[in-house]
Amino acid sequence: MTDQEPLILAFCCESSAYAAADAAGSMRLEYPDNVRVLRMPCTGKVEIDYILTAFERGVDGVIVAGCPEGDCHFQEGNLRARRRVERAKQLLDEIGLDPDRLEIFNLSSSDGARFAEIAGEMSQRLTKLGPSPLRLDDPTEEQNTEQMARHGDAVPVGEKR
């Protein structure tokens, strides 16, 4: 991945999309290399906060991928996720980020081909949209301090802004 290419974070449901990514692996399917998968127990656990945090930190796009509708491993988590994604899109629109940077997908656990397709589709869409205006090529000290604080590292007294 070069700096010009988009960086995509994918919240993947453990029982479907994550398994589909594994299936894509065992099928040796080629897909764009800019998707970073984060394992979730169910898309029903993906909070709007997580999506917005990801954008705030500078990802160019976010994928939420869960079970097919009506087939959620936890019955209706994916429907809740859809509602939250729609709400998050509204919020993105309000702050001037293109809502197309965020998308929810549904696929089954054995569908490796679909996973590869989704990665390709989003990658293409985000290449067109260009880098996120929130993306920092050089993380500022402010962000460093915030990150260190989250890691429990000592923040030097007096240097905190």
Partner 1 sequence: MTLPNGETPANAMGKNSQEPCGAVLVCGAGVAGIHASSDLSAAGFRVYLVEEGSGIHGDTAQLEKTSPARESIACTMFPKLVECVRDPNIDVFTMSDVIALEKTPGNLKATVRQRPCSTDGGNCAACGEQREDVFDLEIGAVLVTKEGQASFPFPAESTQSSGQQTEKSPGPVFLVHESEDVADTITQASAAAARAMTLLAGARGSLVRTRAYPPERDITDEPPRVGIFVCGCGTDIASVVDLAALVERVRQLPNVVIAKTDVYACAGDGQDRIVEAVAEHRLNRVVIAGCSPHTHESIFRDTLRCAGLNPHLLEMANIRDQCARVHADRPKQATEKAIDLVRMAIGRAAHLASLPEQTVPVKRMALVIGGGIAGMTAALSLADQGFPVRLVEKTSRLGGPTPQIDGDDGETVLAETIKRVQSHLRIRVYLEAVVSKVDGRIGHFTTSITRGSEIHEVKHGVVVVAIGTAGQQSESSGRGQDETVQTQRADREKLARLLRVPLNAEGFFVLAAPELRPVDSVREGVLLCDVPDAAKSIVQASAVAARAASVLSHKEIPVGGMTASVDPQKCISCMTCVHVCPFMAPRVGEHNKSEVQSEVCMGCGTCSAECPAKAITLQNYVDDQILGAIDSLLARDVEKKEFVLTYPEQVGIAPPRWHASQHE
Query: Which residues contact partner 1 by CB under 8 A?
Result: 1, 9, 15, 18-19, 21-22, 24-26, 28-31, 33-34, 36-42, 44-47, 49-50, 53-54, 57-59, 71, 73-77, 80, 84, 108-110, 116, 139, 143-144, 146-148, 150-154
Q: Which is nearer to partner 1, 34 or 104 (CB)?
A: 34
Quote the least distance from Cβ 154 to partner 1, whole Å. 7
DSSP state of 109: T
Q: Which is nearer to partner 1, 41 or 99 (CB)?
A: 41
Quote the least distance from Cβ 129 to partner 1, whole Å. 18
Quote the least distance from Cβ 26 to partner 1, whole Å. 5
Quote the least distance from Cβ 98 to partner 1, whole Å. 19
CB 13, CB 75: distance < 8 Å:
no
Cα–Cα distances (Å) from 96 to 83, 106, 126, in that order, read: 20, 27, 16
CB 23, CB 111: distance < 8 Å:
yes
In the chain, the N- to C-terminal Cα span, in Å, equals 33
The three-point CA angle 144-148-153 to 5° equals: 150
The three-point CA angle 77-80-81 to 5° equals: 85
Q: Which is nearer to partner 1, 71 or 98 (CB)?
A: 71
Q: Which is nearer to partner 1, 80 or 125 (CB)?
A: 80
